[in-house]
Chains A and B, each alone.
Chain A
Amino acid sequence: MKEVAIPEALGGESFELEAHEGWLDWVASVDHKKIGLMYLFSSLIFFLVAGVLALVMRIQLAIPDNHFLSPAMYNQIFTMHGTTMIFLVVVPALVGFANYLVPLMIGARDMAFPRLNALGFWAQAFGGLMLYFSFATGAVNGGAPAIGWFGYAPLSETAFSYGPGVNYWILGLLGIGVGTLTAGINLIATVICLRAPGMSIRRLPLFVWMTLVTAFLIVLVMPILNAGLVMLLVDRLLNAHFFRAGSGGSAVLWQHVFWSFGHPEVYIMVLPAFGMISEIVPVFSGKPIYGYDFVAASTVAIAFLSLTVWAHHMFAVGLGHTFDLFFGFTSMAIAVPTGVKIFNWTATMYQGRVRFTTSMMFAVGFLLMFTIGGLSGVAFAVVPIDWQLTDSYFVVAHFHYVLFGGTAFAVFGGAYYWFPKMSGRMLDERWGKVHFWLTLIGFNLTFMVQHVLGMLGMPRRVFTYPPLPGWEAMNMISTVGAFILGFSVLIFIVNVVVSLRSGKVAGDNPWGAWTLEWATTSPPPEENFAHGVPPVRGRRPLWDLAHPDRTDEMMMKLAG
């Protein structure tokens, strides 16, 4: 048993925490750092699983008229790849970083609700296992769900997916949804209620800002998905009629419900990545972020707009001219606050003393790749372009530029940046750079050509294709790129494993960064700040501490 004293601020009691040995120390933990690391670990495991699924798809598509996979199997694999990457890789990775970093960055002892935090993680983890149980239902029953990650009705109804695979998909997503929702509630309560003295809302590190806004989106839209899933489950198990057109239901209603969750979800997956970039770029440019207020405010603008753009996924439905105009307009409008951020980051680097560490290289890679994904995204807001390109490989290329070129690059950048804090050791920079270049090359080989394939008319979600001119070569390039990308991930994992054992010892603040998490030891002690939280009088407390003669406050006064 271990006595844990709660600071007077949190009620001043103390309670007994049972000290566990070995794996129980992790499984029974309610510590935000351990839970954060478990989120990151589970995200990495599912990343490998879904990555293998992607490689299997690319093998199937490497040559025309291939029969490596059956069509039914191919459908299951792309469904599981998409569902896993979104719900079990990207979101948990971002929630994991937020879990680990937010309390440290605001100078708190833990999250607002530590036990709820553990519940959320385990709900998410068991939801993931539930999802993969669908494979065990066997080929006779249809195996895993084969409905795509957005599970359109009526394909997801019993008439077309008779096996229990889709039920596992629904229950798995409900578990994951509950987990994500509790994490969102917890993060907001933490930021609102547990900030250290002096940490006003306008001094929050930008990663915390973006996490806060993301968490609000989670609270608002996860229940929309849950409601949709519940209705689908009632349709499937109790023979209700919500999405069954044959008895008066509406398949388009599912699309509305799903995408009014699904599009904000895209921003849930990218805003925290923006936050990471907003921490990494200033530190390695040797300058404070350019336009803090604009970065924060544009995030809020993105969040509001993201709730109003969903039907741009549905232009092909034929909603009517007015609908299309409205959603086309909002979808273009959301590019404005996003573009503001790109300028903020670029201007931060401008005339800075840029240090090209691996983390910074991933951040710069993010800027370039995400901009490409953003531009192809704006193109889709033009309704006729969408009609032409929808459900083609152009869409696949677009969202991989956003989610891999954007979020995954930022997460890798964040991994190199915060690994020293989490483990006490540095990730190897030489291998890191090899990892970066292989990722960049592999990623662009895989997905750049898919823009062209899409424009040539190759539809997504087909298990094979005829040997049309150009298709063969471009698909082969894409497959080769995918394997380079897969190899780069292996390098990253080897780097993590080796560095954990024998990496250079990091020290408290290896990058000369300014936010509070770098004030404590690496890794931080259980109570986070053994010697108290440093005073917070500005946005960069550690800079102020190191330069008492020219703190941010003084410089602001000088500047008037």
Chain B
Amino acid sequence: MPDKTMPEKTLPENTMPDRTKVGVGLFLLSEGNFFLILLITYVYFHSMPGDGPSASSSLNPMHTLVFSICLFLSSATIHLAGRSFKLGKRRAVSGWLALTVALGAIFLCGQVREYLGLFAHGVSINTNLFGSTFFTLTGFHGLHVLIGLFALAALLGIAMSGRLGEIKPSGFEAVSMYWHFVDAVWVVIFTVVYLWPLVA
């Protein structure tokens, strides 16, 4: 047994993984499964389209790509914010966080605009299966972006009031992990929902 050599005095948290990261990781694993089911449902119904609006007839991938790029970029900015946080550069942290919030907000505004456009063309959640699956999938993603924005805004508020020292590195890391997850989910959704009809 390998652990025989382990000194008995070792304190648990020094050798064991950080619990905040483990907890958030598990939470994101479950969130991933949640989105997986919504995505499978989307794909299932997309593969046998019925009457009425569909992805290819209603969606504009180029428009969506513009605000999607903002979300993709925000993954980089939160990463830079985290790096500045580790290096103790407080003003840089605030700057990168503010940019992340702004990019996330642009994404949400883009999504709202897209929804309003669809509503105007008579596509809504009760129109047909495309509407049901599309709005449920992207709506839940949008909700996750919104929650992420609240968390980022809270971090930003703390950073701007100069109390960044009170935040544990793992707490900052948790928000960052969540934001990367939200971004990664959108990569998959964007590919399946917007790009697939272009090639199929």
The 3 closest A-B pairs by CB, nearest first: A240-B132, A227-B37, A223-B34
By a CB distance below 8 angstroms, the chain A residues around B29 are 219-220
**Does A530 have its Cβ within 8 Å of any Cβ on chain B?**
no
Residue ranges of B at the interface with A (Cβ–Cβ < 8 Å): 1-3, 6, 8-14, 16-19, 22-23, 26-27, 29-31, 33-34, 37-38, 41, 44-45, 50, 125-126, 128-129, 131-133, 136, 140
Given A181, A196, A234, A248, which contacts B45 in the complex, CB threshold below 8 Å? A248
A residues within 8 A CB of B37? Answer: 223-224, 227-228, 257
Least distance between B132 CB and chain A CB atoms (Å): 4
Q: How far in angstroms is the closest Cβ of chain A from B142?
A: 14
CA A8 to CA B6, docked complex, whole Å: 19
Which of chain A's residues have a CB closer than 8 A to the CB of B3?
Answer: 198, 200, 202-203
Indicate which residue in A9, A224, A249, A250 contacts B33 across the interface (CB closer than 8 Å). A224
Contact segment of A35-43, A187-195, A411-419: A187-195
B residues within 8 A CB of A227? 33-34, 37-38, 41
Cβ contact within 8 Å between B136 and A192: no
The one of B12, B13, B31, B132 in contact with A223, judged by C-beta atoms closer than 8 angstroms, is B31
Q: Can you name 9 A-B residue pairings with CB atoms under 8 Å?
A: A8-B11, A9-B11, A9-B13, A11-B13, A113-B19, A113-B23, A228-B37, A248-B45, A248-B129
B131 touching A240, Cβ below 8 Å = yes
A176-208: which have CB < 8 Å to B? Answer: 181, 184-186, 188-190, 192-198, 200, 202-203
Contact B19 A112, beta carbon cutoff 8 Å: yes
In the complex, A240 Cα to B137 Cα: how many Å? 13
With A112-B19, A223-B33: A253-B26 Cβ-Cβ less than 8 Å = no
Closest partner residue, chain B, to A107 (CB atom): B12
In the bound assembly, the distance between CA atoms of A231 and B8 in angstroms comes to: 52
CA distance A139 to B8 in the complex (A): 65
A193-B19, A219-B26 given; A242·B31 CB < 8 A: no
Contact B17 A193 (CB under 8 A): yes
Contact A200 B45 (CB under 8 A): no
Chain A residue nearest in CB terms to B27 = A185
- A10 contacts which of B10, B13, B30, B38 (Cβ < 8 Å)? B13
Complex CA gap A224/B38 in Å reads: 9
Chain B residue with the shortest CB-CB distance to A257: B37
Most chain B beta carbons < 10 A, residue from A195, A223, A235, A250: A223
Number of A-B contacts (CB under 8 A): 129
A230 interface contact, C-beta 8 A? yes
Q: Are B26 and A193 in contact (CB under 8 A)?
A: no
- Whether A223 contacts B30 in the complex (CB less than 8 A), given A228-B37, A535-B8, comes out as yes
B136 and A186 contact, CB distance less than 8 A: no
Residues from chain A with Cβ under 8 Å of B18 in the complex: 193
Q: Is A289 an interface residue (CB 8 A)?
A: no
- Determine if A239 is an interface residue (Cβ-Cβ < 8 Å): yes
CB pair A194–B23 under 8 Å, yes or no, is no
Is the CB of A226 closer than 8 A to any CB of chain B?
A: yes
Give B131's nearest chain A residue, CB to CB: A240
A247 surroundings in chain B (CB, below 8 A): 50, 128-129
In the complex, the answer to whether A189 meets B23 with C-beta atoms within 8 Å is yes
Q: Does A238 contact B (CB under 8 A)?
A: yes
Asked if B125 and A234 sit within 8 Å, CB to CB, the answer is yes
Q: Of B8, B26, B30, B128, which contacts A248 at CB under 8 A? A: B128
A181, A194, A249: the one contacting B30 at CB < 8 Å is A181
A221 at interface by CB-CB < 8 Å:
yes
Asked if B30 and A220 sit within 8 Å, CB to CB, the answer is: yes
Whether B131 and A220, one on each chain, are in contact in the complex, defined by CB atoms closer than 8 angstroms, is no
New A-B contacts (7) at CB < 8 Å, excluding given A11-B13, A195-B12: A188-B26, A193-B16, A193-B17, A219-B26, A222-B30, A241-B126, A248-B128
**Other-chain residue from B22, B34, B126 in contact with A188 (beta carbon distance below 8 A):** B22
Inter-chain CA distance A240–B38, complex, in Å, is 14
Residues of A within 8 A of B9 (CB): 197
Main secondary structure of the interface of A (DSSP, over half): helix
CA of A197 to CA of B8, assembled, Å: 6
Q: Mark A431-454, 1 if CB is under 8 A from B, else 0.
A: 000000000000000000000000
**In chain A, what residue has the closest Cβ to B31?**
A223
Q: When chains A and B are docked, how far (Å) is the Cα of A159 from the Cα of B10?
A: 62
How many angstroms between the C-alpha atoms of A239 and B131 in the bound complex?
11
How would residues 502 to 527 of chain A score, 1 for a CB under 8 Å from any chain B CB and 0 otherwise?
Answer: 00000000000000000000000000
Residues of B within 8 A of A198 (CB): 3, 6, 8
Taking residues whose C-beta sits less than 8 angstroms from the other chain, chain A's interface range is 35 or more
Instruction: With both chains docked as a complex, state the minimum distance between the C-beta of A126 and any C-beta of chain B, in angstroms.
Output: 20
Q: Which of B19, B26, B50 contacts A194 (CB 8 A)?
A: B19
Chain A residues positioned under 8 Å from B131 (CB to CB):
240
Residues of A within 8 A of B12 (CB): 9, 108, 193-197
Known: A221-B33, A248-B50, A248-B128. A189 touches B44 (CB 8 A): no
Q: Which residue in B8, B13, B128 is a CB contact (below 8 Å) of A241?
A: B128
Is the Cβ of A186 less than 8 Å from the Cβ of B126? no
Rounded to whole angstroms, the CA-CA distance of A184 and B23 in the bound complex is 10
A240 touches B136 (CB 8 A): yes
Smallest Cβ distance from A434 to chain B, in angstroms?
Answer: 44
What separation, in Å, do the CA atoms of A285 and B50 have in the docked complex? 64
Instruction: Indicate if the CB atoms of B17 and A192 lie closer than 8 Å.
Output: yes
Q: Which residues of A contact B45 (CB under 8 A)?
A: 248-250
C-alpha spacing A241/B50, complex, angstroms: 12
Expressed in whole angstroms, the Cα–Cα distance for A113 and B174 within the complex equals 14
Q: Which residue of A lies closest to B34 (CB)?
A: A223
Binary B-proximity of A8-39 (CB < 8 A = 1, otherwise 0):
11110000000000000000000000000000
Which residue of chain B has the shortest Cβ distance to A261 in the bound complex? B37
Q: Evaluate contact between A250 and B44: CB separation under 8 angstroms.
A: yes
Closest CB of chain B to A236's CB: distance in Å?
11
CA distance A224 to B29 in the complex (A): 12
- CB-CB nearest in chain B for A260: B37
B30–A242 touching, CB < 8 Å: no
CB distance from B181 to the nearest CB of A (A): 13
Q: Do A240 and B126 contact each other (CB < 8 Å), given the known contacts A185-B30, A189-B26, A248-B45? A: yes
CB <8 Å contact, A186 and B30 = no
Nearest A residue to B22, CB-CB: A189
A238 to chain B, nearest CB (A): 5
Known pairs A188-B26, A231-B136, A234-B136; A226 contacts B16 (CB<8 A): no
- B11 CB, nearest partner CB in chain A, Å: 4
User: Measured between C-beta atoms, what is the minimum distance from B20 to chain A in Å?
Assistant: 9
